[in-house]
Amino acid sequence: MANENNYFVFSYDAKYEMLVRNHVAYLRNRINEDKSISINVVECDLYEIILSILVERGYLLKNFAMEKKSGSARVYQAITHTLRLTQSDDQVIEYIKTHVKSGDIIFITGVGKAFPFIRSHTVLNNIFKAADHCPVILFFPGTFDGQELNLFGALKDANYYRAVPLVED
């Protein structure tokens, strides 16, 4: 199967989220601790990246206050504005870029936790800006048929993806 970008999606039923989280941590640690191989796995948890960006800019507590005063829709707007997704200074892509180096393998996790602030297709369509030199595995709580991501088995995106399923059904 040709995949010039080395982008893969491991889809799974969302009911197995905790099992997958634990196994991803196990794989990351096992690979990174094995001194006989020169591979490094960098886990990029999208939710943790959002929190890190908000904390770094001093916005996290302000967002809590804003939600009390103005509601969730206003907080959503503020956070998506701060993240600058798909813009030239996309903060999530910049975060990933600063945390990986050539030869790393990137595990993207936290997809369900980061919804609706970050959509998987947005990351897949822009990850080349941060990691054109690294294989990427997106751990996705839903289904992926090679063309369409379906988050939680309920939310479809009809975009083209430059990724292939890691495991075929």
Q: Give tens-digit pLDDT for 22-54.
A: 999 999 999 999 988 888 999 999 999 999 999
Categorize the per-residue pLDDT at 157 as very low, low, confident or very high, splitting at 50, 70 and 90. low
Query: What is the per-residue pLDDT for 1?
Result: 42
The total number of residues shown for the chain amounts to 169
CB proximity list for 80: less than 8 A, separation 6 or greater: 117
Query: What is the per-residue pLDDT for 161?
Result: 63
pTM recorded for the entire structure: 0.88
pLDDT digits 0-9 by tens, 76-131: 899 988 998 888 899 999 999 999 988 899 999 999 999 889 888 888 888 888 87
Residue 49's alpha-carbon distances to 13, 55, 70, 93, 109, in angstroms, are 23, 10, 24, 10, 10
- H helices, E strands: number in the chain: 8, 7
For the CA atoms of the chain, what is the radius of gyration? 16
CA atoms within 13 A on the CB side of 110: 18
Which of 96, 50, 44, 56 has the alpha carbon at shortest distance from 75? 50
User: To the nearest whole percent, how much of the chain has pLDDT over 70?
Assistant: 92
Residue 160, pLDDT > 70, answer no
Least confident span in 68-82, 100-114, 153-167: 153-167
Interstrand relation of 136-144 and 149-151 (parallel, antiparallel or unpaired): antiparallel
State how far the Cα of 17 lies from the Cα of 29, in Å rounded to an integer.
Answer: 18
Least confident span in 56-70, 89-103, 143-157: 143-157
Categorize the per-residue pLDDT at 146 as very low, low, confident or very high, splitting at 50, 70 and 90. confident
Query: What is the per-residue pLDDT for 164?
Result: 76
CB proximity list for 147: less than 8 A, separation 6 or greater: 160, 161
| CB contact at 8 A, 153 and 14 | yes
For 109-145, b/e burial (b = at least 16 CB within 10 A) is bbbbbbbebbbbbbbbbbbeebbeebbbbbbbbbbbe
